[in-house]
């Protein structure tokens, strides 16, 4: 079965950078849009970024626009989230997700497969 495994989280100082990776199993990775979401304690899971199946289209939450960059390498079955200029408010568990048959947008309900999450903590 297809699985998503996130990695790259950790503890960084405010203003620092991290690159998250999401490795997918399976041979049809390139046919799916992918998204990154995050969930902070006491808050709902929040859309962060998405990328189309080809990588030609990206979209970001206003809160991360200009600081985060989503990309994918379909040959490696991997999607990335480059996180720059990190702020304490970015602290959350970050989840990689695969879009469902209706396409991936900014809603958690548009995604039908999720990774286990990776913790990102930004200290002030």
Q: State the chain's mean pLDDT as an integer.
A: 95
Residue 108 structure tokens: 């958690």
pLDDT top residue among 103 and 52: 52
pLDDT of the residue at 101: 77
Tell me the pLDDT tens digit for each residue of 14-65: 999 999 999 998 778 888 999 999 999 999 999 999 999 999 999 999 999 9
pLDDT at 107 over 80: yes
> Could you give the C-alpha distances from 9 to 18, 35, 52, 112, in angstroms and in order?
7, 16, 23, 23
Residue 111: closest CA among 89, 122, 95, 124 = 95
């Amino acid at each position: 079965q297809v699985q998503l495994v996130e990695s790259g989280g950790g503890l960084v100082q405010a203003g620092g950078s991290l690159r998250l990776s999401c490795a997918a199993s399976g041979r049809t990775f390139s046919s799916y849009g992918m998204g990154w979401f995050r969930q902070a304690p006491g808050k709902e899971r929040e859309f962060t970024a998405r990328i189309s199946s080809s990588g030609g289209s990206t979209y970001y939450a206003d809160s991360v626009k200009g600081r985060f960059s989503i990309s994918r390498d379909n040959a490696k079955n991997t999607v990335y989230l480059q996180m720059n200029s990190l702020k304490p408010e970015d602290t959350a568990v970050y989840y990689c997700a695969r879009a469902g048959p209706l396409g991936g947008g900014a809603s958690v309900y548009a995604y039908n497969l999720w990774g286990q999450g990776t913790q990102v903590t930004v200290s002030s």
